[in-house]
Amino acid sequence: MGLSKWSQIQAAYELVKRSLEERLAQDSIFSSPSQVREFLQAKIGALPHEVFLCLYLDSRFHLIECQELFRGSITQTAVYPREILKEALARNASALIVAHNHPSGNPLPSEADQDLTKTLIKALQLVDIPLLDHCIVSGTGFFSFSDSGLMKIDL
């Protein structure tokens, strides 16, 4: 494939990601959970390194902003709840969805992923910002803590 064709494909891919993000900003996140999934898979599903994203939502659950907050290696990334709270408050977010990718291809949560989710739920509760979901994305799979029932962990 030539450089020109590769550039065209990359430009089309970027347009799809931007279109999905724009739709999330206009519609309630809950009006189409499949759009959230498609957006996250397009945004981070094929990356060769881990990234951790925050989707900041307003009171109507419309997307305020999607921010890559942390970037890591092939197998892990350091996540700091303090920074997540700081950024959510700076955007006046009313709710939050967090997501990260597993470049290994296995979207199932590790014990560290589960512990992080519990910590984030507790920390965000202190400032009245509900954590609506923690999504794990891979090139071929998707895992939602909310859909799996793991968000109802007894704290």
pLDDT digits (tens, 9 = 90+) for 63-90: 999 999 998 887 778 899 999 999 999 9
| Mean pLDDT, the chain, whole residue set | 85
Q: Can you give the C-alpha Rg of the chain in angstroms?
A: 16
3-152: CATH topology is Cytidine Deaminase; domain 2 (3.40.140)
Residue 13 phi, psi (nearest 5): -60, -45
Q: Is 154 helix (H, G, I), strand (E, B) or coil?
A: coil
Each domain of the chain, given as residue ranges in start order, spans 3-152
Whether the CB-CB separation of 67 and 87 falls below 8 Å is answered with yes
Residue 79 CA, distance from chain mean position: 13
